[in-house]
Chain A
Amino acid sequence: EAQVTQNPRYLITVTGKKLTVTCSQNMNHEYMSWYRQDPGLGLRQIYYSMNVEVTDKGDVPEGYKVSRKEKRNFPLILESPSPNQTSLYFCASSKKGLAGGGRFNEQFFGPGTRLTVL
């Protein structure tokens, strides 16, 4: 089954304790992206990756890191989490991430990771 998986689905942690949220897709997609969702603010892009070893900042990258060493995986790293990073996080992938990409840019979203930082 074609899908995007995220782990963990739920996480409660404390301020300053490094954590990683994994994201994996099995569709051989080139483009992957991370979003956070907060009440009243919709979905905001954190980082995206156009292909292996190519990553770039979205709208809210502060406090996050990513890496794209393999095509299928795109982990989100919080080196020193703070309470304002408490949020619902989504990973997504698409075949392409190019302008004019039409249906190739259709994003497939994972189920989400609910993170609470105390």
Chain B
Amino acid sequence: DAKTTQPPSMDCAEGRAANLPCNHSTISGNEYVYWYRQIHSQGPQYIIHGLKNNETNEMASLIITEDRKSSTLILPHATLRDTAVYYCTIFYNQGGKLIFGQGTELSVKP
């Protein structure tokens, strides 16, 4: 089964860009990459998803490498409220199974 690997923690200065990497070297076919974030112990919230091309929405940008083996979530101007755990996930090709990695705990500091 495809897995995702993320650094356990990262720090970012307030106002600077936060770049969160994810390795998904065994991704295949039409499997999308999804990013979620979880603040404290609340239910995770969807941020963005992508297949091949870079994506941007009001929350973040997603850069996917050409070989699709890794991606980077970019929060362009991090605020203190962006302090959370960020999960990179893959939705399996056969449908149904969703694998979350262990996530990256992002601390945004003043």
Interface size on A, residues (CB 8 A): 35
CA of A99 to CA of B2, assembled, Å: 14
A19-73 interface with B by 8 A CB criterion = 31, 33, 35, 37, 40-45, 48, 50, 56, 58-59
CA of A90 to CA of B43, assembled, Å: 7
> Are A112 and B41 in contact (CB-based, < 8 A)?
yes
> Are B34 and A106 in contact (CB-based, < 8 A)?
yes
Chain A residues in 8 Å Cβ range of B93: 99
Chain A residues in 8 Å Cβ range of B100: 35, 42-45
Is A107 close to B, CB under 8 A? yes
B98 CB → nearest A CB, Å: 6
Chain A residues in 8 Å Cβ range of B92: 99
Is A88 close to B, CB under 8 A? yes
Give me the interface of A with B, judged by CB distance under 8 Å. Answer: 4, 31, 33, 35, 37, 40-45, 48, 50, 56, 58-59, 88, 90, 92, 97-103, 105-112, 114
Give me the interface of B with A, judged by CB distance under 8 Å. Answer: 29-32, 34, 36, 41-46, 49, 51, 87, 91-103
**Interface pairs A-B: 5 shortest CB-CB:** A109-B43, A100-B30, A42-B102, A43-B100, A99-B93
What 17 new A-B contacts, CB under 8 Å, besides A45-B98, A102-B49?
A4-B43, A42-B87, A42-B102, A43-B103, A92-B43, A97-B95, A97-B96, A99-B92, A100-B51, A101-B32, A101-B95, A103-B49, A105-B32, A105-B34, A107-B34, A107-B36, A111-B43
Q: Please, could you name 17 A-B residue pairs with CB atoms under 8 Å apart, sorted by A?
A: A4-B43, A33-B98, A42-B87, A44-B100, A45-B97, A45-B99, A48-B98, A50-B95, A50-B96, A59-B99, A100-B51, A101-B95, A106-B34, A107-B98, A109-B45, A112-B42, A114-B41
